[in-house]
Amino acid sequence: MELFWFIVLVCMLGIYVVLDGYDFGAGIVHLFFAKDEQERKAVTNAIGPFWDANEVWLIAAGGVLFFAFPTLYASSFSGFYLPLMMVLWFIIFRAVGLELRGQIHNRLWERFWDKAFGIASLCLALFFGAALGNVVRGVNLGMVENGVSTQEAHYFFLPLWNPTFDPLAEHQGIIDWFTILLGLVSVVTLTIHGANWIILKSSSTLNPRLRTIIYRLNYVLLLLVVASALLWHYVKPQALNNLFAHYWLWIFPVMAAVGLFSLFRIRSFKKDGTGFLFSTLFIVGSFGSTVASLFPTMLPSTNQVNPSLTLYNVAAHEYGLSVGLGWFIIAAILVVLYFIIQFRVFKGKLDDVGYGDH
């Protein structure tokens, strides 16, 4: 049952990154590339009917983490307390920016909430990428100092940064040069993904320019991916052991590579949805590669005193996991039906939705 719930958790997080990821990317496009009111409306119309439903996947993933892996939940939510609070405020400002922007038709009011929406989206993309970097790098479980564990084996706490910004330092921080690098990968990836969604769901004059932006950003993404892969091997020398031990897991890096290199043809795609398909493929492949390389570890330990947190030593009791299965099936059916109805109702271009108009 532990493996089943691990797969459920990973799938929920993957779906969240794909769905809410294009919302973050659209916000970044809105902040930097939408030049006039018509283009800004095209961006908000493209995500308007979907963004709040997409966030449900993050809540659901948090619920599964709390229910199925309570030790990991307790460890990570206390250890990453500060960035989690910041992420919560960014989520609030992103939502408030979208909802309040159209309440008062005043240029200063509208520009303020436009900036709130865009900056919050940018920071969320950066912080979620850095969060993945922290998981990949590992944390000092038990707060070990000089070879002695000063706290419980699963406990840790990280400040926002350490003075050296070194991922291999004994006293780590949330932000170091490695986690910032993965944060930048996340920002560029989701900007491309959001731009592809806008192309798919709108007929804006912004679209031809977005194709060129995607093409150029893809070169930046390629450089960042190569750099992060090399530096990951420096931070974690045994990072690819699982992939070499189980060759079928290479399907995930292959998916990522196909998605990434296919996006260089973005300007020649005939169908508007093709770019979104390939950016989704890159995200799923990259996320799957990360999970496959870590498995069965869920939060690595950077010291030799306390063991890493794996799906086997943080899972709830077998009975509880079995009882939860029935409720999960009911919830999964309802969610699938909801999303089918939502995407059928809002299929095609959304230029005339008028999201946020009051």
Task: Return the sign of the alpha-carbon dihedral for residues 27, 29, 32, 35.
Answer: negative
350 within domain boundaries: no
How many whole angstroms separate alpha carbon 203 and alpha carbon 273? 12
50 within domain boundaries: yes
144 within domain boundaries: yes
Amino acid at 340: I
158 within domain boundaries: yes
Which helix (H) or strand (E) segment is 222 a member of? Answer: helix 206-235
How many whole angstroms separate alpha carbon 52 and alpha carbon 332? 18
The pair of three-digit structure tokens given for residue 300, joined into one six-digit string: 């690595």
315 within domain boundaries: yes
174 within domain boundaries: yes
How many whole angstroms separate alpha carbon 70 and alpha carbon 316? 6
**Mean pLDDT in consecutive groups of 10 residues from the start of the chain, 358 residues:** 92 95 95 90 90 90 93 92 91 89 85 93 94 92 86 88 85 91 96 96 92 96 95 86 88 96 94 95 96 92 90 88 88 90 87 69
How many whole angstroms separate alpha carbon 118 and alpha carbon 134? 24
Predicted TM-score (pTM) of the model is: 0.93
The DSSP bridge partners found for residue 297 are 310
Concatenating the DSSP letter of every residue in 284-353 gives HHHHHHHHHHHTTEEE-BSSSSSPPEETTTS---HHHHHHHHHHHHHHHHHHHHHHHHHHHHT-S--TT-
Query: 156's torsion region: left (phi>0), alpha (psi -120 to 50) or beta?
Result: beta
Q: Within a 13 Å sphere around the CA of 76, how many CA atoms are in the beta-carbon half?
A: 21
Q: According to the model, what pLDDT value does residue 326 have?
A: 86
Task: Quickly count: other Cβ atoms within 10 Å of residue 38's Cβ.
Answer: 12
Q: According to the model, what pLDDT value does residue 210 have?
A: 95
Q: According to the model, what pLDDT value does residue 356 have?
A: 63
Q: According to the model, what pLDDT value does residue 89 have?
A: 93
The pair of three-digit structure tokens given for residue 343, joined into one six-digit string: 């995407």
Q: According to the model, what pLDDT value does residue 357 have?
A: 64
Q: According to the model, what pLDDT value does residue 319 have?
A: 84
Domain range for 246 is 2-345
Q: According to the model, what pLDDT value does residue 245 have?
A: 86
Give me the number of domains the chain comprises.
1
37 within domain boundaries: yes
Report DSSP state, residue 80: T
